[in-house]
Structure 1
Amino acid sequence: MLMTAATLLSRITGLLRTWAMAFALGNTLIASAYNVANNMPNIIFELVAGGILTAAFLPLYLTLKEQEGQARSDTYASNLLNITFLVLSCISIICIVGAPYAVATQTFSAQSPEVSAVAIVLFRIFAIQILLYGLGGIFSIILNAHRKYFLTSVAPTLNNIVVIAAFVTYSIVASRDAQLALIILGVGTTLGVFVQYVIQIPALIRVKFKWSATLSLRDQALRDSFRIALPTVLYILGTLLAFSCRNSFSLMCTESGPATIAYARIWYQLPYGVIIVSITAPLFTELSSLAARGKLIKLRRLLCQSLSVMLALIIPCAALIIALSSPLISLFRAGAFNASDVAGVSSLLSIWVISLPLYAITMYMYQVYASIKKFFLYALICTLGMIVQCVLYGVLCKPEILGLYGIAVSDIVYYTLSALILIGLLRKKVGAFLLMPLVKTAIKMLVASVIGAGIAYLAARGFALLFPGKISIGIGALELICCGIVGLAIIALLGKWMRVSEIDYAANMLKRLKKRFAR
Structure 2
Amino acid sequence: MEAPYDRERGRAPGGGDQSGWQGDQHGHPEPRQDPYPPGYDPYAGQQPYPYAPGGHAPGAPDPYGPPHGQAPGGYAGQPYPPPSYGPGHPGPPQGGQGYAGPPEYHPPAYDPGAYDSAGYQGPDDPYLADSYHHDPYAGRDPLAQDPVGDALYDRAAHPPPPSGSVPDPHGLYQQPPPGPHAPDGGRWAPTPAPEPDALSRHLPHGDHAATTEFTGIEGLMNRAGETAGSGPQGQRPGPDDAFAHLFRDQQAGPGQPQAGGGGQPPRQAPEPAPAARPEPQAAAPSGKTSKAAGLLKSSAIMAAGTLVSRVTGFVRQLVLVAALGAAVLGDSYTVAWNLPNMIYILIIGGGLNSVFVPQLVRAMKNDSDGGEAYANRLLTLVMVLLGALVVAAVLAAPLLVRLMSPTFADDPAANEVTVTFTRYFLPTIFFMGVHVVLGQILNARGSFGPMMWTPVLNNIVVIFTFGMFLWVYGTQATSGMGVTTISDEGLRLLGVGTLLGLVVQAVALLPYLRAAGFRARLRFDWRGKGLGKAATMAKWTVLFVLANQVGLIVVTQIATWAGASALEDGHSGAGFIAYSSALLIWQMPQAIITVSLMAALLPRLSRSAADGDTAAVRDDLSHGLRTSAVAIVPIAFAFVALGVPMCTLLFGTAGESGARSFGYVLMAFGVGLIPYSAQYVVLRAFYAYEDTRTPFYNTVIVSATWILLSALSFVLLPARWVVAGIAFGYGVAYAVGVRVAWRRLKSRMRVDLDGARVVRTYIRLAGASVPAAAIGGGAGFLVLRSLGEGAIGSAAALAVGGLLLLAVFYVAARRMRIEELTALVGMVRARLGR
Report the TM-score when normalising by structure 2: 0.57
Tell me if structure 2 keeps the 8 A contact 1:247–1:257.
no
Structure 2 equivalent of residue 344 of structure 1: 661
Deviation per residue, 1:11-48 (Å, 9 max, x gap): 22122112222222221211111111111323456677
Q: Which has the larger radius of gyration?
A: 2
Deviation per residue, 1:159-183 (Å, 9 max, x gap): 0000111222223334595332122
Counterpart of 1:361, as a letter, is: A
Tell me if structure 2 keeps the 8 A contact 1:111–1:252.
no
Equivalent runs, 1:321-336 vs 2, <5 Å? 321-335=639-653
Tell me if structure 1 keeps the 8 A contact 2:332–2:414.
yes
Structure 1 equivalent of residue 700 of structure 2: 383
Tell me if structure 2 keeps the 8 A contact 1:333–1:471.
no
Q: 1:279 to 1:84 in 2, by over 3 A?
A: closer
Equivalent runs, 1:70-469 vs 2, <5 Å? 70=369, 73-108=371-406, 113=411, 114-174=413-473, 175=479, 178-207=487-516, 209-255=518-564, 257-297=575-615, 299-335=617-653, 337-398=654-715, 400=717, 403-430=722-749, 431-467=751-787, 469=788
Report the TM-score when normalising by structure 1: 0.89
Deviation per residue, 1:54-97 (Å, 9 max, x gap): 44434444544554444x84443333333323322221112111
Aligned partners of 2:334 and 2:526: how far apart in 1? 36
Look up the SS of the partner of 1:242 in the other structure: helix
Counterpart of 1:180, as a letter, is: E
Deviation of residue 217 (structure 1)?
A: 4.1
Deviation of residue 415 (structure 1)?
A: 0.9
Deviation of residue 250 (structure 1)?
A: 0.8
Structure 2 equivalent of residue 19 of structure 1: 318
- 1:477 partnered with 2:795: yes
Deviation per residue, 1:165-205 (Å, 9 max, x gap): 12222233345953321221111111100111122234444
Equivalent runs, 1:25-44 vs 2, <5 Å? 25-43=324-342
Report the RMSD for the aligned CA atoms in angstroms. 2.8
- More moved, 168-177 vs 475-484: 168-177
Deviation of residue 418 (structure 1)?
A: 0.3
Aligned partners of 2:754 and 2:785: how far apart in 1? 48
Deviation per residue, 1:464-492 (Å, 9 max, x gap): 2431x3411x4423332332121111011
Aligned partners of 1:207 and 1:132: how far apart in 2? 21
Aligned partners of 1:61 and 1:362: how far apart in 2? 24
Aligned partners of 1:151 and 1:435: how far apart in 2? 34
Aligned partners of 2:328 and 2:628: how far apart in 1? 37
More helix by share: 1
Tell me if structure 1 keeps the 8 A contact 2:676–2:734.
yes
Look up the SS of the partner of 1:254 in the other structure: helix
- More moved, 164-173 vs 52-61: 52-61
- More moved, 36-45 vs 483-492: 36-45
Look up the SS of the partner of 1:373 in the other structure: coil
For structure 1, which runs of at least 5 residues remain unmatched after alignment?
none
Aligned partners of 2:710 and 2:357: how far apart in 1? 36
Aligned partners of 1:443 and 1:106: how far apart in 2? 39
Pick 1 or 2: higher relative contact order, CA cutoff 8 A, min separation 6.
Answer: 1
- More moved, 36-45 vs 432-441: 432-441
Aligned partners of 2:447 and 2:779: how far apart in 1? 46
Q: 1:240 to 1:441 in 2, by over 3 A?
A: same
Q: 1:63 to 1:432 in 2, by over 3 A?
A: closer
Tell me if structure 2 keeps the 8 A contact 1:110–1:248.
no
Q: 1:47 to 1:353 in 2, by over 3 A?
A: farther
Q: 1:143 to 1:116 in 2, by over 3 A?
A: same
Aligned partners of 1:46 and 1:465: how far apart in 2? 43
For structure 2, which runs of at least 5 residues remain unmatched after alignment?
1-299, 474-478, 480-484, 565-573
Aligned partners of 1:198 and 1:338: how far apart in 2? 38
Tell me if structure 1 keeps the 8 A contact 2:328–2:414.
yes
Tell me if structure 2 keeps the 8 A contact 1:327–1:480.
yes
Q: 1:5 to 1:49 in 2, by over 3 A?
A: farther
Deviation of residue 271 (structure 1)?
A: 1.5
Q: 1:514 to 1:95 in 2, by over 3 A?
A: farther
Look up the SS of the partner of 2:722 in the other structure: coil
Tell me if structure 2 keeps the 8 A contact 1:32–1:115.
no
Structure 2 equivalent of residue 488 of structure 1: 806
Tell me if structure 2 keeps the 8 A contact 1:314–1:357.
yes
Aligned partners of 1:369 and 1:427: how far apart in 2? 11
Aligned partners of 1:108 and 1:354: how far apart in 2? 31
- More moved, 155-164 vs 40-49: 40-49
Aligned partners of 1:419 and 1:227: how far apart in 2? 25
Counterpart of 1:179, as a letter, is: D
- More moved, 416-425 vs 276-285: 276-285
Tell me if structure 1 keeps the 8 A contact 2:645–2:789.
no
Look up the SS of the partner of 2:590 in the other structure: helix
Equivalences, count = 512
- More moved, 5-14 vs 244-253: 5-14
Q: 1:206 to 1:449 in 2, by over 3 A?
A: closer
Aligned partners of 1:143 and 1:297: how far apart in 2? 27
Aligned partners of 1:416 and 1:12: how far apart in 2? 28
